[in-house]
Structure 1
């Protein structure tokens, strides 16, 4: 095995995509140079410097830590091309014009190092066409690497070779993209718009066509084609507004210019409504108007008939919403097809058009069906891919219906379904892999070394591969937790509660897991099966399970549960084998405290960590404030502890949540020794490796030591700040009360500065304050508001 280590990346083009790709390389600690044209006036690198400034303002944030923007090296094509010699990977991301790209390639080619990979981030131009004019040597190291916008958050990267690209180049790049940048890689053929945009944009055009046919407004279509279908919440037209209607128009143009022989060619006409919006300069979100326009607090929609903006808010008919809620995919599709409701007819039509399209084009655009499903899931935010939907809804039945519609002239074109659709199959995904029409057989998944790091790969309908909810050997399972292992010396505990909230069952499970791990394993990992699909690590204590206790026995009935929670977390901290928390997604309140008590944290980049209890009128009582005091005392190392406490006090008092794992390090919720993992599918692997390594290195839990605290002097200093915030109207009276209580705990209570206290002393202070607040009417208002609406109440 030979290592392929990318020591430095160059990105050519500081536009929206180029700058964000550079930012994401930096998130992953890969040094990067961002190039653009020399500026006509001011500093020569002005274009790049402005792009870097802009990165700090974009939302969602391209950088995990805004301060890192300063680490992007800047260059222009006139003075700095010699810097390319140090780069192992060069990604071109300039405007989508073949002639401009060729001009740039002529300039940079002489400076590219002999082993560097050269790639274009084009979203649809021919990679072979782009490579024309290179010598054979460079051609062999050139390919397409198509990131989706925004590059930090979109999982998909399409990798597109030419006939000359050396296979090992692609394998090396795939490894780098998957592990270092955390991406889901799909290999595409060099056809216009590759896979995701080809299928996705056809889907948008079919949706626009059928919406017009069935007389549905854009807001109704978005409600029908968003979360209700397991797709991006923004639906079809709002997504187009976010992407930019000019970009949309450009991708459609590519199809018009290069797909004249396609049986669906007539569908690639620019929809009249889109054309008129582009002509008016209404390009979507960036110009303030597109299919939608925000006026004050109201969101207006375009009326296709008049071209005017009118009140929006159109919704799915109740009958259709009920059909879509049916859990049985076979029944759901049959009911949509048979319904006379225009919205149901519209949905059947877009499903049929999609199935027709992917069946006809599978052989020309992808190696196998899996690549189309993953491209749509990872690039367009679908929860299930189009072939998966077809297979789950009954392959043969759907195939028959699509054929009937084609024969009856109801489809968008009369191209017949390919013969393989009717060869007696029940789908395209099975235990042996996914169907490839060119190879006339099923193709197994990639066996590249990088995928050995994914304990559970993204599953597909029909494949029947093991997933984290059922794999391995179960040691214990009930409705709250599962304790299991894979014969590799590490015990895993997975929560089964909604959002992995912590109630009595989870607390009991944690204590049981520690005892089992100490007896039979090298370590314990806290990990959940939906970690890679946007699940939560833990949304905190289960308020819902506290309610009955509270109703029957008042505050007194809840205190024993809080004490048990504290002791379970302390059990993790002082376990005699290492406990590793594999954090991804939300780790809020008790979920954050759970992670704080592990011996180590392995966190996915997209981890949103924070103590948010003040939002429901409480203070953290699972040891979160105690840990803040312990860490401040350790970090101060004999200096002024208060300086080290201030930020953790403020984070807890304002319910501040990290927007990435990188920011969580800055906030102190993750330690500098904690590991950040970019691909959430690798989280379990890395957490187990860490647990075993700590054990093998002779792990011992920390010794129980006394903690120096700042006492009443510290409380007075913090309260002076809180008084200013209260009197300035920045916080409410109840927020002020909560702030004072947080201050009292992190400072160790009303005792002399420099006093030494035990962790139990701090836990008792937390619990006492928590109990007092539970009795407070303002806190009860906040809790009820949160349970009823899911939103914090400010009172």
Structure 2
């Protein structure tokens, strides 16, 4: 194997996508230079500079840490083309016009380094036609690389090779996109709009068509086609507004211009309603109006019949919502097909249209059915792909129903389902099996990619029906109960996976952690805390399990809670001073006790999408699992004799304002992750990296840290912080109870009413945390906050 390392990337085009792709490269510590046209007036690099400034304002944030915007190198096509020679990957991301792209390619081609990969982030133009005019040598290094918006958060990247692209170029690019940028790669054929947009935009057009057939309003359609179907909660029309109706119109036009011989061609007509909105400049969210319009605090919807905006808020009919809650896909689809409610009939129709479409087009647009399912899951936010849905609902039964509808003239076109749908193994098993997924072009089942990069994913993204190993059942179980599973894969590292809802920490989890640690110290090189849904957007841990602690509190009051809190503190301290390394593999939410669990690990390996913070004040409490003790300890360490208070203020402010990091990079800046903690970009690689770290630390002769005293800032620090709190309370920025909580946190992190410079043990801080926590449990204002959070899930301000 030869190392292929992309040392530097160039992005051509500082528009919405180009700038965000550059931002994500910087997130991943990949040096990047962003090009655009020279500005006509003022600073020649003004266009790029404005784009970079804008990155800091966008939400969701393209940058994991806003300060990193400064790391993007700025360039223009007139003065800086020589910079391209130092780039190993060049991504063109300018407007979707073949002539403009060709003009730019002529300019840049002479400056591209001899081994660099050249790629276009087009969302639908032919990659082969784009490479017209290249010499054979550059053609071999050119392909499509299609990111989805917003590129930091959307898992999908489509790679589109041409006949001329060298296979090793594509393999190298897939490795870089997967590990370094954290993406899920699907290879697409060079057909208009590739896989995800081809199927996704067809789906949206079919939904608009069927909504008009069944007389449904945009708000009802969005309620039916959003979270209730396991798709993006913005549904269909809201998604179109977010994407931009002009952008959507453009993608539809690509289909009109290039797919004249497609049996579904009639469906690619721009819907009248869309054409009217675009002509009126109502381009969706960016224009303030599209299918929806915000009027004051209300969201109004477009009435197709009159073209006016009217009150929205329409929802699915109860009977249809009940069908959609059915867990058994076979029963669910049968109920929709037989429903007499227009909403039920509409849902069956859009499923039928999608199944009809993907069956007819599988052979021409994708290598196999798995790629279509991943494209829709990762690119459009569907929980389950369209082929998976079909197979789960009963392959042959659905196929026959779709055929009946086609024969009866109810489908969107008369093209029959291809013969393979009813033949051989597909008829028996469906398109996904243990040996692979069906390829219509090869008439065979195709196994998953065996590129080396996938050896880093112990549990790859699952496909329904493929029966792959998953973290819930794989490996050897040492102990399993309702709260945890402790297990290993015969590789010297013990794993504990939490099974509670949102992985909250109650008595069962604490006992599990103690048991796992004892076993790891006896027989393993390390312990990893990793949850099986880490890659699917699950939480690391949402904190203490308040719900199950309630009965105990009701019976015995705050005093009855004390042993449990002491046990939690002791368990976390034992982790910190464990004789083998304990690695917290963090992804998603790590809040309150979940944050404290991570803080006490020997090291943290965190997914870029980690949202870490001490949020206890939201429920009227303070951190009591050692979070404030860690803030004091870390400030004492970092200050190394200079003004500790300066360092302490960060820890205090984060806890007192329940500040949560918006990325792992920000968590480093906030002090929740340490400088040498590892950030992982692909959540499917989290377990692999955590295990590698555990073994490396053990093999390097790991010893737990020595117990050190903490230098306290005492009365001086407490009074300084309190003065700021008084100003905030008196200025009306915080309530009296917020002040009380802030004052308690200040007392604990400073060590309280003692001399500045006192040397205190960790236990001193833990005892203060526990005492304050118990006092607050008895406080009526805190009880109001706890009950409010449990009833509504939202913090109460009192």
The 5 Å alignment of 1:500-515 reads 500-515=503-518
CA shift for structure 1 position 704: 1.4
Unaligned stretches of 5+ residues in structure 1: none
Counterpart for residue 210 of structure 2: 210
Q: Deviations over 1:351-374 (max 9, x none)?
A: 000000000000000000000000
Give 1:756 shift.
1.1
The match for 2:69 is: 69
SS of alignment partner, residue 185 of structure 1: strand
Match of 2:391 in 1: 391
> Structure 2 regions of 5+ residues with no counterpart?
none
In structure 2, the residue matched to 1:251 is 251
Q: How far does the alpha carbon of each residue in 1:393-451 deviate from its partner, in whole angstroms, 9 at most, with x for none? A: 00000000000000000000000000010013321001001001111110000000000
Query: 1:27 — aligned with what?
Result: 27
2:449 is aligned to 446
TM-score by structure 1 length? Answer: 1.00
Residue 355 (str. 1) matches residue 358 (str. 2): no
Q: 1: CA distance between counterparts of 2:571 and 2:513?
A: 6
Shift of 1:241: 0.3
- Whether the 8 Å CA contact 1:10–1:84 is kept in 2: the answer is yes
Does 1:4 pair with 2:7?
no
**Alignment of structure 1 residues 345-744 onto 2, 5 Å:** 345-423=345-423, 424-744=427-747
**What do residues 708-763 of structure 1 show as CA deviations (whole Å, max 9, x unaligned)?**
11111110000000011111111111000000000011001211111111111100
Deviates more, 1:620-629 or 1:702-711: 702-711
* Cα offsets for 1:122-177 (capped at 9, x unmatched): 00000000000000000000000000000000000000001000000000000000
Q: Deviations over 1:663-708 (max 9, x none)?
A: 0000000000000000000000000000000000000001112211
* Counterpart secondary structure, 1:158: strand
Structure 2: distance between partners of 1:500 and 1:553: 26
Q: What is the rounded CA distance, in whole Å, between the counterparts of 2:126 and 2:676 in structure 1?
A: 44
Partner SS for 2:490: coil
**Which residue pairs with 2:169 in the alignment?**
169
Which residue of structure 2 lines up, in the alignment, with residue 199 of structure 1?
A: 199
TM-score computed with the length of structure 2 as normaliser: 0.99
Query: What residue in structure 2 maps to residue 293 of structure 1?
Result: 293
Instruction: Indicate the residue corresponding to 1:275 in structure 2.
Output: 275
Q: Following the alignment from structure 1 to structure 2, what is the Cα–Cα distance between the partners of residues 573 and 355?
A: 53
Moved over 3 A (4+): none
Measure the CA separation in 2 of the matches of 1:175 and 1:762: 47
CA distance in 1, matches of 2:648, 2:430: 59
Name the residue aligned to 2:782.
Answer: 779
In structure 1, what is the Cα distance between the partners aligned to 2:264 and 2:440? 20
1:37-52 alignment runs, 5 A limit: 37-52=37-52
State the distance in 2 between where 1:38 and 1:704 align. 59
CA distance in 1, matches of 2:196, 2:515: 46
Kindly provide the CA deviation profile for residues 65-122 of structure 1, in whole angstroms up to 9, marking residues without a partner as x.
Answer: 0001011101111010010000000000000000000000000000000000000000
* 2-structure distance, mates of 1:253, 1:729: 55
1:214-240 superposed Cα distances (whole Å, 9 cap, x missing partner): 000000000000000000000000000
**Cα deviation per residue 1:152-206 (whole Å; 9 max; x = unaligned)?**
0000000000100000000000000000000000000000000000000000000
Q: In the TM superposition, what are the counterparts of 1:63-212 in structure 2 within 5 Å?
A: 63-212=63-212
**Is structure 2 residue 751 aligned with structure 1 residue 754?**
no
Partner secondary structure for residue 604 of structure 2: strand
Q: Distance in 2 between matches of 1:413 and 1:712?
A: 79
- The number of aligned residues is 795
C-alpha contact 1:394 1:426 (8 A) present in aligned 2: no
Q: CA deviation at 1:347?
A: 0.2
3-state secondary structure, aligned to 1:189: coil
Stretch deviating more after TM superposition (179-188 or 743-752): 743-752
The answer to whether the 8 Å contact 1:396/1:426 transfers is no
Distance in 2 (CA, whole Å) between partners of 1:131 and 1:648 is 54
How far does residue 257 in structure 1 lie from its aligned partner after superposition? 0.4
- Alignment deviations for residues 368-398 of structure 1 (CA, whole Å, 9 cap, x no partner): 0000000000000000000000000000000
